[in-house]
C-alpha cells in the first residue's frame, strides 16, 4: 500500500503526531492488510471488526495494544479515506483498571545495591530518582543535567512536552562518577554504539537482571521505578500537584491513582472488623 501509506503518514505528520504514534498507526493498517491479503481501502467495516476480535480472542493481545490498533484504523478510515463515523465505527476495548505494583523503599535500595555495573547502576538510579519513563531516560543528553539548578530537563516527553524533574544530590554524585568512567556524549546512556542512545530493550533487560539479583519477584518492568518515585514522594508528604508536574501527567486524575496505594493513606483507614462489639476471637491453640 505504498501510496496509501505515504498519504496516511502525511496526514499524521500534519496533525503533529509523534514518531512512535505514527509507526504504531501505520503498523496497525499494515497488519490489517496482511491479515486479509489485500489493500486496506478494500476492506469493509465488518471485516475490520472481525480482525479486532481476532486480535483479542485468538492472538490474546492486551487491551491497550488492541486499542492502539483500533485508533490507528479509525484514523486511516476516517481521516485518510475520509469515511464518516456514521459509515464506519470501530469499537474500542475497555482497558481493565489495574493499580501499579510498588516496591518498598528497602527493595529499591536492594535493587541498586546489588547492581555493580556503573552504567546499569546509573540508569536505574536515574529512572527512580527522577521518575522518568523508559523512553525518556534512554534519550537523556548530558546537557539535560543541570547541576546548578539541580534539575533534569526532559525534552519532548510523552505528548511532545518538555518538563523539568528532580536531580538529587546523591544522583548527581553517581552520575559524575559514571561520566568519569565512560565520558558519554551527547547521550547520557548508550548501548554498544557510543554514538546512539541506549535501546529501550537493553534498559529493560538491565532492570530485569537487577530484580533477579535482588530477589524481587513482584512488579513488572522498569516503569515500576517511575511508579515507586511517585508513591514514595506522596508518602513523604509531597503534594499531588507537584508530583503531577514532575511526572508530566496531563490530567490530575492520572496522578491521583497513587493515593490508592500509599501506605499512609491506607493506614488511616480502620477496618470495620476492628469495630465489631465482640471480644477476642482468637482460636484456641490446637491440641
**Residue 249 bears catalytic tag:** yes
**Residue 176 bears catalytic tag:** no
Which H or E element spans position 165?
strand 161-166
Show contacts of 10-17: CB within 8 Å, 24+ apart: 11/75, 11/79, 11/80, 12/75, 15/79, 16/160
Candidate list 133, 163, 227, 232, residue with the active-site label: 133
**Residue 161 bears catalytic tag:** no
Starting at the earlier edge strand, list the strands of the sheet with 145-146. 145-146, 151-157, 161-166
Which of helix, strand or coil describes residue 75? helix
Candidate list 78, 83, 153, 158, residue with the active-site label: 158
**Residue 164 bears catalytic tag:** no
Tell me if 155 sits within 8 A of 197, measured CB to CB. no
Candidate list 258, 260, 263, 265, residue with the active-site label: 258
And the C-alpha cell for 24?
504504531
**Residue 121 bears catalytic tag:** no
Candidate list 74, 110, 163, 226, residue with the active-site label: 226
Tell me if 90 sits within 8 A of 52, measured CB to CB. yes
**Residue 211 bears catalytic tag:** no
Candidate list 74, 119, 139, 249, residue with the active-site label: 249
Measured CA to CA, the distance from residue 109 to residue 248 in angstroms comes to: 25
Question: Around 159, how many Cα atoms within 13 Å sit in the side-chain half-sphere?
Answer: 8
Using alpha carbons, list the distances in angstroms from residue 262 to 27, 170, 252, 256, 280.
38, 24, 17, 11, 30
Measured CA to CA, the distance from residue 132 to residue 165 in angstroms comes to: 9
Helical packing angle, 223-235 and 118-130, nearest 10°: 50
Determine whether 184 is exposed, middle or buried from the number of CB atoms within 10 Å of its CB (0-12, 13-18, 19+): buried
CA 102 to chain centre: 14
Catalogue the active-site residues: 133, 158, 223, 226, 249, 258
Amino acid at each position: 500500500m505504498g501510496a496509501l501509506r505515504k498519504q496516511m503518514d502525511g496526514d499524521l505528520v500534519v496533525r503533529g503526531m509523534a514518531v512512535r504514534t505514527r509507526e504504531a498507526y501505520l503498523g496497525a493498517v499494515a497488519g490489517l492488510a496482511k491479515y486479509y491479503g489485500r489493500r486496506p481501502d478494500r476492506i469493509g467495516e465488518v471485516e475490520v471488526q472481525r480482525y479486532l476480535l481476532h486480535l483479542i480472542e485468538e492472538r490474546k493481545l492486551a487491551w491497550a495494544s488492541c486499542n492502539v490498533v483500533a485508533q490507528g484504523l479509525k484514523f486511516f478510515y476516517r481521516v485518510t479515506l475520509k469515511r464518516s463515523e456514521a459509515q464506519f465505527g470501530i469499537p474500542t476495548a475497555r482497558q481493565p483498571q489495574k493499580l501499579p505494583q510498588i516496591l518498598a523503599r528497602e527493595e529499591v535500595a536492594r535493587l541498586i545495591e546489588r547492581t555493580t555495573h556503573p552504567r546499569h547502576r546509573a540508569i536505574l538510579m536515574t529512572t527512580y530518582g527522577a521518575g522518568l519513563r523508559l523512553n525518556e531516560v534512554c534519550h537523556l543528553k548530558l546537557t539535560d543535567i543541570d547541576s546548578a539548578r539541580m534539575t533534569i530537563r526532559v525534552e519532548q516527553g510523552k505528548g511532545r512536552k518538555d518538563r523539568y524533574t528532580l536531580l538529587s544530590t546523591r544522583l548527581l554524585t553517581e552520575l559524575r562518577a559514571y561520566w568519569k568512567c565512560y565520558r558519554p556524549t551527547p547521550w547520557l546512556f548508550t548501548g554498544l554504539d557510543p554514538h546512539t542512545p541506549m535501546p529501550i530493550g537493553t534498559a529493560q533487560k538491565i532492570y530485569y537482571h537487577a530484580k533477579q539479583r535482588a530477589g524481587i519477584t513482584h512488579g513488572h518492568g522498569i516503569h515500576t521505578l517511575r511508579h515507586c518515585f511517585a508513591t514514595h514522594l506522596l508518602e513523604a508528604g509531597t503534594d499531588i500537584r507537584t508530583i503531577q508536574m514532575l511526572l508530566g501527567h496531563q490530567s490530575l486524575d492520572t496522578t491521583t491513582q497513587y493515593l490508592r496505594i500509599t501506605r499512609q493513606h491506607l493506614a488511616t483507614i480502620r477496618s470495620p472488623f476492628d469495630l465489631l462489639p465482640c471480644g477476642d476471637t482468637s482460636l484456641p491453640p490446637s491440641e
